[in-house]
Structure 1
Amino acid sequence: MIQRDRLVNDFEAMSQFTASGEGINRLAFTDADWAGRQYIIDRMVDAGLTVETDGFGNVIGYKVGKNPDLPVVMVGSHTDSVPNGGNYDGVVGVLSAIESVRSMNDDGFEHDHTIAVVSFMCEESGRFGDSTLGSKAMRGELTVQDLHRLRDKQGTSLYEVLKGRNLNPDEIEQVEYKRPVKSFTEIHIEQGKVLEHEQKRIGIVTGIAAPERFYVTIRGNADHSGATPMNLRHDALCGASKIILGIEEIAAMQEEPPVVGTVGIVEVTPGAMNVIPGVVKLGVDIRSISEVARNSVVTLIKEFIDVTAEKRGLSYTIEPVAQDHPVAMHPAMIREIEEVVTSLGVEYMALPSGAGHDAMHWADDVPTGMIFIPCLGGISHNPAEFAEMDDIVTGAEVLDKVLRKLSLEDTKLV
């Protein structure tokens, strides 16, 4: 059975792997992230898993079944964080999966399918602007060109970062996972307030929203703040401010299905109090469970940017970063999770995920399911992020039973 003490120890240990600063700072491929990755490898080995790593650094631990030729039952999440993040986002999924394996070992549980526990690298976009990169690599969706294109705030490319970790970015196409996969399951904190508000212990995810991300660079004239009259200014920041508010208003107009729009990056150049801003770079994130609704909003936003720039005598460029696809969870996986939750007598509800997850990259070809547990106040990507250990244990118990069912050859996902 699931052991609370083991989970408490694991979460405490993972909280120590962080760079300086408030909250958890475990950005992808940094020393803190790499140390946390090693901790996960060690726990997988302790649990008797056969551990492999791929060319992107993803960690895969195998609990071999009675029939190794059958497709694997895959489960996983991530352990990297955003800047000043929390210790539950992603970590719940990886540690719960390892604890499920330990629980099976304790019970002497025998299964037909091999179980593959995965800790995906670089799920968060906090360092390179694009998210779920470890999953994309395993799905064959990353190219060498992508690795050169994606850069952190210091200008270091993902290609260079992988080289620095003694990985082989030139063979990124070879990272694609070739073994047949029966199912993919991920457990995660909700990162929202719905479960807490509805007083439900478990959420069964019906679908995952996906982002389109792009940078907008607005260019004006960096003139003297005192010597340039208001009617002769081409202030890039004033134009950018109008665009930011426009993105909020345009996204809010799309009510059903809803679309959310966020400008999470604003870089102002030259950044001096006595100089009119000449260049502003915005990082834009538009999401929806509906690709059609999201694309419509993105089109309106780009038209608004064009009109605003022309009115203010500004120029601009738009640099695409990512365009992921919203996905639905597999009906059979939803049913299997629901049956387990019902058998445990746990209060639950079905709900969509507004946040993106590694699971979204498996859902097109593999029966995929997601389990949510509540987080305090719905807060995530924040030092105040918190999940009750009682809820983590309940989630791990659900995951454990789901994986046991899926790992039996008699369980058919149709």
Structure 2
Amino acid sequence: MTKAADIGADVVRLGRRAEAMLSELGAISSDPNRLVRLFLTPEHRRAADLVASWMRDAGMTVTEDALGTVRGHWRPELKKRFLTGSHIDTVIDAGKYDGPLGVVAGILAIEEIAARGLDLPFGIDVLAFGDEEGSRFRSTLSSSLACVGKFDRATLSDHDRNGVTLADAIVAYGKRIDEITAAAYDPANVAGFLEVHIEQGPVLEAENLPLGVVTGIIGQTRMRVVVLGAAGHAGTVPMRMRHDALTGASELMLAIERTALDNEADGMVATVGRIEASPGATNVIPGRVGFSLEFRSVNDAKRKAAIEQVKADAQRMALRRKLEVAFESFYETETTACTPVMQDMLENVITTFGHKPMRIPSGAGHDAQVMAGFCPTAMMFVRCRGGISHNPAEFASESDMGLAVIALTDFVEAYASTERS
């Protein structure tokens, strides 16, 4: 186990290596002016190949499953596996740390474990998932769901903005749909999972802490909302006689905001991220508006109650304005707790460095929430500047990243002792 007085040079060395690797990976993009790396695209292929080369250089054998998850296997002869890693896909106009940091940290930790000559009772798999952001298809987390045997085959018919289905994208990537089932781990052979990830929020920075211990990942509901009115001439239909779908949708969006604010104590947030108004002409009253709606909260019951409140508000608005409104839910996850004993162990490891870490929930979804329903799971947050994420300004310092790699290595060593006992 590493002590605070011994880690200075290692933090610098590992932090610089992490930054260099993330910069190289961050240069792989479909857009020369911004970072865009979507699931099962040529850019995903190039990123996966780069990650695989790093894994081999670290002494791992490499495989890739039917959903494109790159798996680096350290000591593949051992049946029992400890899993770590994160995702390498991005949002549109992304930063380079969200997701890839967890993959790079895992690879560097393997090098540290080998350098220390640790004799562990399990092998380690570093996983580079490809579908965490949901930026290409409306489904998300499909690659980690495949790893736990819960891939939803109904999502194969989901299509991207160009009309390409997930099934077609898998085949074009060189994979076989009938091999998705084989991607699942046997839970009897999995010792646990730990994901390293930037916080994507401002809490750790505000507390001047480099690392945090995640208590759980909040639940989410994502919906499509459609408001129907009547398109008409913008110059001839009096204001009081209009059935304007956009003004009705705007009123509903304010009701959504009000509902989330009323439940702020439960960490509830609501977001309208995409809006489409039709016909979309300057001189035509909008007759149809569709928008995305997402609710998140650490309290599943209150999240669901808030959605029912919004639906009731929508019906009242529609009746008053003579409109129609419909909701379609397409994604739902419950609040997921991280394993308490792993939280304690991770806190103990970080405390030895002279930092008492905070325990905080994650307001963002992660592959860890899928893994938590399958095996003992922990998450470690790394401070990010200004809490900025999903943005080119996203940044984590070399020192914090170096410390995270050491913490991951020490955690694996400590966790191994529990497997032996």
TM-score class, shorter: over 0.9
Say if 2:393 is the partner of 1:359: no
In structure 2, the CA distance between the partners of 1:211 and 1:384, relative to structure 1 (3 Å rule), is: same
Partner Cα separation in structure 2 for residue 380 and residue 166 of structure 1: 32
2:319 maps to 310
1:232 Cα shift?
2.4
1:402 Cα shift?
0.8
**3-state SS of the aligned residue for 2:269?**
strand
1:133 Cα shift?
2.1
Partner Cα separation in structure 2 for residue 407 and residue 36 of structure 1: 31
Say if 2:59 is the partner of 1:48: yes
Say if 2:415 is the partner of 1:406: yes
Give the alignment partner of residue 237 of structure 2, picking from 224, 228, 232.
228
CA distances 1:360-412 after superposition (whole Å, capped 9, x unpaired): 11212311111011111000011111111111111111111112222456456
In structure 2, the CA distance between the partners of 1:234 and 1:20, relative to structure 1 (3 Å rule), is: same
1:344 maps to 353
Partner Cα separation in structure 2 for residue 202 and residue 368 of structure 1: 17
8 Å CA contact retained: 2:221, 2:331: yes
1:98 Cα shift?
0.5
1:287 Cα shift?
0.5
> Which deviates further from its counterpart, 377-386 or 302-311?
302-311
**3-state SS of the aligned residue for 1:3?**
helix
1:242 Cα shift?
1.1
Matches within 5 A, 1:98-247: 98-148=107-157, 150-178=158-186, 180-247=189-256
2:105 maps to 96
Return 5+ residue gaps in structure 2 as ranges.
Answer: 1-9
In structure 2, the CA distance between the partners of 1:311 and 1:204, relative to structure 1 (3 Å rule), is: same
2:48 maps to 37
2:38 maps to 27
Partner Cα separation in structure 2 for residue 385 and residue 243 of structure 1: 32
Give the alignment partner of residue 261 of structure 1, picking from 270, 294, 309.
270
CA distances 1:180-203 after superposition (whole Å, capped 9, x unpaired): 211110010000000000111110
Identical aligned residues as a percent: 34
Say if 2:340 is the partner of 1:294: no
8 Å CA contact retained: 2:23, 2:96: no
Number of aligned residues:
409
**3-state SS of the aligned residue for 2:235?**
coil
8 Å CA contact retained: 1:183, 1:406: no
CA distances 1:18-47 after superposition (whole Å, capped 9, x unpaired): 122654211222222221121111111111
In structure 2, the CA distance between the partners of 1:411 and 1:311, relative to structure 1 (3 Å rule), is: farther
Partner Cα separation in structure 1 for residue 132 and residue 85 of structure 2: 11
Give the alignment partner of residue 20 of structure 2, picking from 5, 9, 19.
9
Amino acid at match of 1:326: T
Give the alignment partner of residue 390 of structure 2, picking from 353, 358, 381.
381
Normalising by structure 1, we get a TM-score of 0.94
8 Å CA contact retained: 2:213, 2:357: yes
Amino acid at match of 1:36: A
Partner Cα separation in structure 1 for residue 38 and residue 56 of structure 2: 24
Amino acid at match of 2:58: A
Amino acid at match of 2:226: T
Say if 2:71 is the partner of 1:68: no
Amino acid at match of 1:68: L
In structure 2, the CA distance between the partners of 1:303 and 1:365, relative to structure 1 (3 Å rule), is: same
Amino acid at match of 2:146: A
What is the root-mean-square deviation in Å for CA atoms of aligned residues? 1.8
8 Å CA contact retained: 1:205, 1:369: yes
8 Å CA contact retained: 2:145, 2:151: yes
In structure 2, the CA distance between the partners of 1:63 and 1:407, relative to structure 1 (3 Å rule), is: farther
Partner Cα separation in structure 2 for residue 306 and residue 33 of structure 1: 43
1:143 Cα shift?
2.5
1:329 Cα shift?
1.0
1:337 Cα shift?
0.5
8 Å CA contact retained: 2:35, 2:92: yes
2:280 maps to 271
1:288 Cα shift?
0.9
Partner Cα separation in structure 1 for residue 220 and residue 34 of structure 2: 25
Partner Cα separation in structure 1 for residue 243 and residue 135 of structure 2: 31
Partner Cα separation in structure 2 for residue 170 and residue 305 of structure 1: 43
Amino acid at match of 1:56: L
> Which deviates further from its counterpart, 53-62 or 342-351?
342-351
Amino acid at match of 1:153: R
1:170 Cα shift?
4.7
Partner Cα separation in structure 2 for residue 309 and residue 27 of structure 1: 37
**3-state SS of the aligned residue for 1:294?**
helix
**3-state SS of the aligned residue for 1:160?**
helix
1:371 maps to 380
> Which deviates further from its counterpart, 254-263 or 90-99?
254-263
Partner Cα separation in structure 2 for residue 22 and residue 245 of structure 1: 34
Return 5+ residue gaps in structure 1 as ranges.
Answer: none
> Which deviates further from its counterpart, 99-108 or 87-96?
99-108
Amino acid at match of 2:86: S
